[in-house]
Structure 1
Amino acid sequence: MLSVWNILYIFATYQIGTNNFNHLYMTIQQLKQTLTLPQLLHHYNLVPNKNKLIKCPFHEDKKASLQINEDFYYCHGCGKKGDIIDWVQEFDKCDKKTAIAKCKSFVEIFQVLPNKQITKPNTMKTNQNLEELFDQFNKCLLGNPKAMEYAKNRMLNPEETQLGYNDGKLFDKLKNCLIFPLRNEKGEIVSFYGRSVIARRNDEANSETAKHFYLSDRTGLYPRYPEKNTKKLILTEAVIDAMTLELALHTTNDWNEYNVLALYGVNGLTEQHIQAIKELKQLEEIIFFFDGDKPGEDAILKYCEQLDSSLNKGELAKQTLNFKLKITKVQTPENEDINSLTVNYSFEALLQLLQERKILKTTSQEEVKSQKPLAISKTNLKQNQTLNLKQMNPLIYQNDKIKLEVLGKISSKDLSEMRVTLAIYNLQKIEYPSRQNLNLYNDDQVEKVIRKVAEKLELGTRIINEAVQKLIVQLENYRQNATKKEKVAVRYPLRLLTDADIQEALEWLKDPNLKEKLIQILEQTGLVGEGKNGLFLYLILLSHKMKKTLHAVVQGTSGSGKSHLVSGVADCMYDQNKIKRFTRVTDKSFYNYGEFDLVNTGIILEDYDGLSEEAELAWRELQSNEKLSSSVSQKNEQTGDIKTGEKYVFGPIASLVTTTKFRMYEDNESRVFIIAIDESDAQTERVLAYMAKKASGEITPEMETKNKRILQNICYLLQPYNVKNQYRLELPVNVKHRRRLTQMLHDFIAQVTLLNQFMRQKDIDNYLVTQIEDLEIAVDLMFNSIVIKADELDGILRQFYENLKKYIEDKAKKIGKKPSDVDFTQREIRQHFNVSKTQMQRYVDELEQLEYITKTHVGKRNSYYYQIDFWDNIQKIRSEIRENLFQQIALYKNQGS
């Protein structure tokens, strides 16, 4: 049944015209690209201010704290964030399906036109151009791993702040720079500041200025013009420092009256800055927070005199009789700046330094050289700064008489008590502290400790009690912040596809020679000589997006390149957050995931040999049952009662695993496709030739990355469908696990059909219909895996045995004997094939147990001689299996014709 919004949407579509009716089938991504958040807010009568902020409707918001961008919102107060669909869900209290229908209706009701990608501008004559360009810079940042890593390393929270990146494709200037918007009085973007993310070794003497770039005719202020009611204004030396400080101030509500304004370096106080400050009629204090170096200190003194002259003695003082202006500075540690302090310590370090700022000028216009800082004495300033930064200051309380230091950590598990160990110092007399262990929530115990410490340190009980009570408040805030659920950062930001990317991927997916082209491009990503195996594994791992997932094991000796093959295929997946790569899995790790953490993920196990028996069981159950279910004991934290509960971890998962083992546990082996790495001499030569081309620069990492991106784009476009396969293929009777392998064959055929979905028809139930060509591709790609299942020897051992037979045949011709009569020793074969002694012993033991070779006699020094006892013909077996399968396919072709 259609919802009201669906009916309204269809009605609006017909009213506007049948040409727009295709919006009914608009994908979610197309919807987000078409309807912007400001357009949506217009429906709710919400208009952002000049700083793109509104009062948050999701919590009691006295000051506008909800940031509005073109395609997402974020609240600096309550942390709510999302896109247009999340907004409708949250605001209208509806489910996702209804929210999507509402958004689609807005597209037609408001006659919204789809957003078009901004082309590279030659000029920037209007502010609208700059606004649109910055939106593109922001999207470029979120899709560029290098820039995202730089921004996150700088603690800039790129997902939540107004920050962009220019890779040079959108705009000629400020290339390879983080982009910060400079705004005019109306809040409009009028220019940009660029911070380079790359090192410029050719200009080491001027490396600092080489990081900062501005457009010609620079104008505008960052982050914005100060609000008219600003009382305390913090001036920073650099733009990146201003953003960092704003993030720090937003971590608490205690700093709401402070505003930040960036200067453009130690010589960057412009007339615009001075004029903007003059407009602040309620200004009480200007705070300099510059770098901790000599240029920064000199600039503070210079600007202090300049601002004091302009403000305290100028028109602003004359206009306001009660005008009182104080100029202060933050004493930044040597060779540090705002951003480096945040990176090396925390936001709390900045706030602590702000509290301890020093007065430079007062309304009396007398320089305060001997006046104490606001929080601590000047003599202890440097020492206290260092100590507080290292100890993360919320664990210390100090005034001019006493210091309380928390030793160790405080527990956040039981909030009904606050048990700590304190070191209490008398800063005026006693050198050594009194150390006490107590529960700060036990008043009787606290009073006894205070009396005891007062006597020992020769301090009044009132002074100690006041300090303890203030420490408790700080510790409560600290513990409350520590218990908040931390936001999980996206490890791999999703790359946004351009129209050109999508068009190129569509051309690939509609190409009749898609299989051959994919094999070729996979080899060009670095999987030289393994293109067919690479495509086989690519389709198996791609199934993590689909309803039916597949699994494979890659066998090979140590150093054969099996991990390189699996990792290379995994790199070709679009959403790397859905690909989990492990080198080791502990017994319980799979069971400890969240309920839906593994849904539609691809798991890469780079060493199956390291899995314990319990980890193998969990992996096996995720493959077959698509979930893990455990009966566990659960303790009620409030009552202490222990009851039995159920814990679930849901799949499905797709998996690729590597191993050096000849044989796996049979129950595990039956659930997976098995392929063997090609370890022939010819393949070795191909790999070495490819390495030589990379070393010479003929093949570059950028070329490989470009090819991987094409495969990622293909992965992005492929969508899950149900598949209808009317063809039945029978496997040979000598194949192991024939029932399960037949089901896996048909699942792989369905996966090939999904790969060809842009060339396949759908039936009335929207099922993709399998064609004969899908059967041929599937059989060709998984043929080696079928042969391994039919062969008594596994892939690694089969390659060795075939090489051994050829060696014995050649030796028999030289000495004039029958191959069955030729003896050989382990050392002879080991030296010929350059195999380690351990590996050779494994080969011989396995072949001897299977009665493929036998011991004939013992020679000198107890060395054993062997002969080949069973001369099978694997090529004949391969031909029979291939002929059998393709005869069935040919029969279906004849029936169709």
Structure 2
Amino acid sequence: MEIQEIKQNLTLATILHHYGLKPDKNNRLQCPFHEDKTPSMQVYYKTHTAYCFSSNCKTHGKSLDVIDIVMHKENVTKHEAINKCVEMLRPLTPKGGIKTQPMKLTQSREQFLGNMFQYFKNAVHSSKPTQEYLQSRALDFKQIEVGYNAGQFHHGTRKEESLINQCVEYGLLIDKNIVGRTGEKAYNIFGKWSIVFPLKNRHEQVVSLYFRSILNEKESKHFYLKNRTGLYPNYPKKETRKLILTESIIDCASLLQITEIIQKTLDTELVEVLACYGTNGLNEEIQNAILDLKELEEIIFAFDNDEAGNEAVKKYANQLRITNGKLRISTVELPSKDINETLQLHEPEIFTELLEKRKFVFLSNDTLLGKISEIEDLDNINPIEGENIRELQVKSQKPSTAIDFLKAKDLLKRLGIEIGKAGIVGEENSRLLLFLIIVSYLNKHPIHGIVQGSSGSGKTHIISRIADLMPSEDVLRFTRITESSLYNWGEFDLFQKIIIIEDLDGLKEDALYALRELISNQFLSSSVSIKDKKGNNKSAKKEVKGQFSSLSATTKGETYEDNMSRSFLIAVDESKEQTQRIISHQNRRNAGEIDPKAQQKAVQFIQQMVRCLKYYEVINPYATRLELPEKVHKVRRLNEMYQAVIKQVTFLNQHQRQLTKENQLITQIEDIEQATEVLFESIVLKVDELDGSLRQFFERLKKYVKNTDTPFTQREIRQELNISKTQLQRFINSLLELEYIKYKGGFSNKGLKYVVDYWDNHQKLRTEIKGFLIKQIEQLKNEKKN
């Protein structure tokens, strides 16, 4: 046998697997030929070579091929290493390879399937479509054990009677007494064109195989060999303390790629991941393997986010508790359909948050539902009964502080202070309203905000800073949205997300239409053209589900506010006082008086607080008693928004509110009072026919001219109020159109003169509206006392 033939057929992956050497994600591993604390050996799969960069290694300076690795690993001569490589190649070799000796029928199931899986595993390296499929599923074949069945394992030089007989015996070939065109017997191939995963026994031997088709997405997705046995990826270690159970093998393989993240999150290296075989697949073998784990403390279910998955968790949680009453059992709430889809759509670090927020199904001998981040001391917790199950604390200091913060009184006032510490100056009510709007992404019916202000007023800054207070993995920021881009997102890409649009004015009508549909109906549907397997074009339906909250910035608030339902219009404070506050803050920051670390700490604290919030349905028993002033424009829409903000305040106060038997939060009069205070400016804008920027300009103009008889020119107003010519022209044109001011003479080349024609009493109107709302709340309080 020629050395070149060996190198052509024996892959580096086969050698590494044979010796139990697993490179990291950068294809590096600790060198097996010297004491190595940090990975110093680089693996090159393309050339099937490896190189150790450590000067302490006996192989340093030499590129190692597969024969060299065997020689050094076995500490034998090169001739003996070549013979060892030949043995590894039997009984299966790639198509066109060397001819090997017949496979003996005396091979055990474990030996045969182990060799077959190694062949399937080698096939991945030479199949680009398989690699592309794995990549589309966020699976890295260099990190996990996976193979590919191209259906060629019994052809060519491998077409031997002994091989075929064992393939038939173990189910890889199905004999249907078919004679092919050549007159020879033909077979159906089990699991053809599928990726392959090994199921192993207690001794790490392959005893069965699982196949997942990469072509047929609608039918026959999953295949198991007959007489299925074994576990994936293997039997958990006996010292395992935490065990994660997934619904499928692919979900399990997804988690195996991020074991470092899981171990760090769960604060233990004694974590194992184990696959069930569907919602009814926690079989006797898996249960017996769990019973053997004497050190096991907790089982974490990571089943699919659907009704079948939830029911399976309930069933198996009770079943496992019967066998071990000391087990803690929890479940992970996924943002997507399953573990694999979550990994496709998010960064791996999302599992840190998901594991921290996992819910307990059982803590003690009683049932308890709650987030893992709410448990303080799991070893000394007492059973809790009744409907007021409240949130306990984890050992981590930040979650504990966040929960205490949410439990304490005057939450909105204290939250406003924390937002100020995070770097948002002034705008006390506006920033609280924006926070309530943006955090609504956690609920089934999110709300939306449009921040309106003149150019340079800081509208983009405030929505960006508010977005910084949310978990970063949930925020999508856009400077521009093209006409068809929203239709091209994945079905659940916009589910429980936050969308920040820095300039709403730059969106074209088609993009605005798609955004409006997502905001109003949480759904987009489009007919698209796709290619079938034969390359022919055909029509298909594409859907995007959009449960998200959003904040947008614009200079033309009323235009978009009319065009979108469920959107609040919020005006940026453009007063001189606010300008002075911002300048003072900037000066203090440049002088080093403001600690940027303190700001970042406040941001992280609020993010942690948001992570401690849990979705509840909110019931407002006072909803039928609340009215809005008759002077309000578009009262139907505003009433819905008013009720939505009340629900958001109740939601934020969830740690201070009781739950009904149906697990619903009940609104208190205090929530209505707080919501009214926060929403007041937005209600006033609804009454006013001037938008926010225009109203602020008009009030400043009235303060300057003092009465209706005083004429003014654009030049003197521009200089007095420090407004740009373009901005002032827009204000003047709008006030002329609405008949708030009128011409009073002058010439276009020397300056036109204007006077205020309609001197409205805006402050009186504000007082009347506030009085109306406060009187309504006081009446509710009095009725409650009586």
The TM-score range, normalised by the shorter chain, is 0.5 to 0.7
The answer to whether residue 320 in structure 2 is matched with residue 490 in structure 1 is: no
1:588–1:615 Cα contact (<8 Å) kept: yes
Structure 2 match to 1:815: none
Structure 2 match to 1:840: 728
Structure 2 match to 1:567: 464
The answer to whether residue 489 in structure 2 is matched with residue 593 in structure 1 is: yes
Structure 2 match to 1:712: 607
Q: Measure, in 2, the Cα distance between the counterparts of 1:883 and 1:539.
A: 24
The alignment's TM-score, normalised by the length of structure 1, stands at: 0.48
In structure 2, give the amino acid aligned to 1:866: Y
Cα distance, 1:862 vs structure 2 = 4.9
Cα distance, 1:518 vs structure 2 = 0.6
Runs of 4 or more consecutive aligned structure 1 residues displaced over 6 Å after TM superposition = 59-62, 64-67, 235-238, 320-326, 410-415, 485-489, 495-498
1:596–1:649 Cα contact (<8 Å) kept: yes
1:555–1:659 Cα contact (<8 Å) kept: yes
CA pair 579-831 structure 1, distance change in 2 beyond 3 A = same
Query: 490, 494, 515: which is aligned to 1:619?
Result: 515
CA pair 696-759 structure 1, distance change in 2 beyond 3 A = same
Mark the runs of 5 or more structure 2 residues left unpaired by the alignment.
1-12, 65-70, 83-127, 134-214, 216-340, 357-372, 374-393
2:516–2:564 Cα contact (<8 Å) kept: no
Q: Measure, in 2, the Cα distance between the counterparts of 1:744 and 1:860.
A: 45
CA pair 716-489 structure 1, distance change in 2 beyond 3 A = closer
Aligned-residue sequence identity (percent) comes to 39
Query: 55, 58, 63: which is aligned to 2:17?
Result: 63
The answer to whether residue 783 in structure 2 is matched with residue 888 in structure 1 is: no
Show the 5 A alignment for 1:377-456. Answer: none
CA-to-aligned-CA distance 1:837-883 (integer Å, 9 cap, x gap): 11110000000000000001124735211010001111111111111
Structure 1 match to 2:30: 223
Query: 478, 495, 508: which is aligned to 2:405?
Result: 508
Q: Measure, in 2, the Cα distance between the counterparts of 1:626 and 1:578.
A: 17
CA-to-aligned-CA distance 1:511-546 (integer Å, 9 cap, x gap): 102111111110111101123322211111111111
Cα distance, 1:633 vs structure 2 = 3.9
Structure 2 match to 1:545: 442
The answer to whether residue 766 in structure 2 is matched with residue 878 in structure 1 is: yes
In structure 1, give the amino acid aligned to 2:573: D
In structure 2, give the amino acid aligned to 1:524: K
Structure 2 match to 1:869: 757
The answer to whether residue 633 in structure 2 is matched with residue 736 in structure 1 is: yes
The answer to whether residue 95 in structure 2 is matched with residue 288 in structure 1 is: no
Q: Measure, in 1, the Cα distance between the counterparts of 2:344 and 2:443.
A: 28
Cα distance, 1:663 vs structure 2 = 3.0
CA-to-aligned-CA distance 1:755-810 (integer Å, 9 cap, x gap): 0000000112111000000001111111111111110100000000000000001x
Query: 552, 573, 577: which is aligned to 1:678?
Result: 573
Q: Measure, in 1, the Cα distance between the counterparts of 2:743 and 2:19.
A: 83
Query: 518, 526, 531: which is aligned to 1:630?
Result: 526
CA-to-aligned-CA distance 1:124-173 (integer Å, 9 cap, x gap): xxxxxxxxxxxxxxxxxxxxxxxxxxxxxx9849xxx9xxxxxxxxxxxx
Structure 2 match to 1:445: none
SS at match of 1:564: helix
CA pair 705-66 structure 1, distance change in 2 beyond 3 A = farther
2:646–2:675 Cα contact (<8 Å) kept: yes
CA pair 651-871 structure 1, distance change in 2 beyond 3 A = same
SS at match of 2:742: strand
The more displaced of 652-661 and 631-640 is 631-640
Show the 5 A alignment for 1:682-761. Answer: 682-727=577-622, 728-761=625-658
Cα distance, 1:489 vs structure 2 = 6.5
Structure 1 match to 2:252: none
SS at match of 1:535: helix
Cα distance, 1:745 vs structure 2 = 1.1
The answer to whether residue 746 in structure 2 is matched with residue 858 in structure 1 is: yes
Structure 2 match to 1:522: 419
CA pair 487-882 structure 1, distance change in 2 beyond 3 A = closer
The answer to whether residue 689 in structure 2 is matched with residue 792 in structure 1 is: yes
Cα distance, 1:605 vs structure 2 = 0.2
Q: Measure, in 2, the Cα distance between the counterparts of 1:893 and 1:713.
A: 34
In structure 2, give the amino acid aligned to 1:651: G
Q: Measure, in 1, the Cα distance between the counterparts of 2:14 and 2:646.
A: 56
1:509–1:756 Cα contact (<8 Å) kept: yes
Structure with larger RCO (C-alpha < 8 A, sep 6+): 2
Structure 1 match to 2:666: 769
Which structure's CA Rg is the greater one? 1
Cα distance, 1:690 vs structure 2 = 1.2
CA pair 60-720 structure 1, distance change in 2 beyond 3 A = farther
Structure 2 match to 1:49: none
CA-to-aligned-CA distance 1:231-265 (integer Å, 9 cap, x gap): xx5x89994654xx2xx44x57956xx6x7674xx
Q: Measure, in 1, the Cα distance between the counterparts of 2:20 and 2:784.
A: 63
CA-to-aligned-CA distance 1:726-767 (integer Å, 9 cap, x gap): 113211222222111111111111111110000000112111
SS at match of 2:715: helix
Cα distance, 1:223 vs structure 2 = 2.5
2:421–2:602 Cα contact (<8 Å) kept: yes
CA pair 744-288 structure 1, distance change in 2 beyond 3 A = same
1:556–1:677 Cα contact (<8 Å) kept: yes
SS at match of 2:60: strand
In structure 1, give the amino acid aligned to 2:347: V
CA-to-aligned-CA distance 1:328-374 (integer Å, 9 cap, x gap): xxxxxxxxxxxxxxxxxxxxxxxxxxxxxxxxxxxxxxxxxxxxxxx
Q: Measure, in 2, the Cα distance between the counterparts of 1:872 and 1:701.
A: 44
In structure 2, give the amino acid aligned to 1:594: G
Structure 2 match to 1:211: none
Q: Measure, in 2, the Cα distance between the counterparts of 1:321 and 1:862.
A: 102
Q: Measure, in 1, the Cα distance between the counterparts of 2:645 and 2:668.
A: 13
CA-to-aligned-CA distance 1:94-140 (integer Å, 9 cap, x gap): xxxxxxxxxxxxxxxxxxxxxxxxxxxxxxxxxxxxxxxxxxxxxxx
CA pair 62-836 structure 1, distance change in 2 beyond 3 A = closer
Q: Measure, in 1, the Cα distance between the counterparts of 2:16 and 2:736.
A: 82
Q: Measure, in 2, the Cα distance between the counterparts of 1:878 and 1:857.
A: 34
Structure 2 match to 1:668: 563
In structure 1, give the amino acid aligned to 2:513: L
2:426–2:578 Cα contact (<8 Å) kept: yes
In structure 2, give the amino acid aligned to 1:863: G
CA-to-aligned-CA distance 1:201-258 (integer Å, 9 cap, x gap): xxxxxxxxxxxxxxxxxxxxx737x2xxxxxx5x89994654xx2xx44x57956xx6
SS at match of 2:552: strand
1:762–1:768 Cα contact (<8 Å) kept: yes
SS at match of 1:740: helix
Q: Measure, in 2, the Cα distance between the counterparts of 1:659 and 1:822.
A: 33
In structure 2, give the amino acid aligned to 1:622: L
CA pair 872-236 structure 1, distance change in 2 beyond 3 A = farther
SS at match of 1:821: coil
2:448–2:550 Cα contact (<8 Å) kept: yes
Q: Measure, in 2, the Cα distance between the counterparts of 1:252 and 1:648.
A: 40
2:525–2:542 Cα contact (<8 Å) kept: yes
Q: Measure, in 1, the Cα distance between the counterparts of 2:564 and 2:752.
A: 33
Show the 5 A alignment for 1:157-176. Answer: none
Cα distance, 1:653 vs structure 2 = 1.2
1:662–1:797 Cα contact (<8 Å) kept: no
CA pair 629-289 structure 1, distance change in 2 beyond 3 A = farther
Q: Measure, in 2, the Cα distance between the counterparts of 1:683 and 1:223.
A: 60
CA-to-aligned-CA distance 1:375-397 (integer Å, 9 cap, x gap): xxxxxxxxxxxxxxxxxxxxxxx
In structure 1, give the amino acid aligned to 2:577: A
SS at match of 1:596: coil
Structure 2 match to 1:583: 479
Cα distance, 1:681 vs structure 2 = 1.1
1:236–1:261 Cα contact (<8 Å) kept: no
In structure 2, give the amino acid aligned to 1:800: F
Q: Measure, in 1, the Cα distance between the counterparts of 2:521 and 2:719.
A: 47
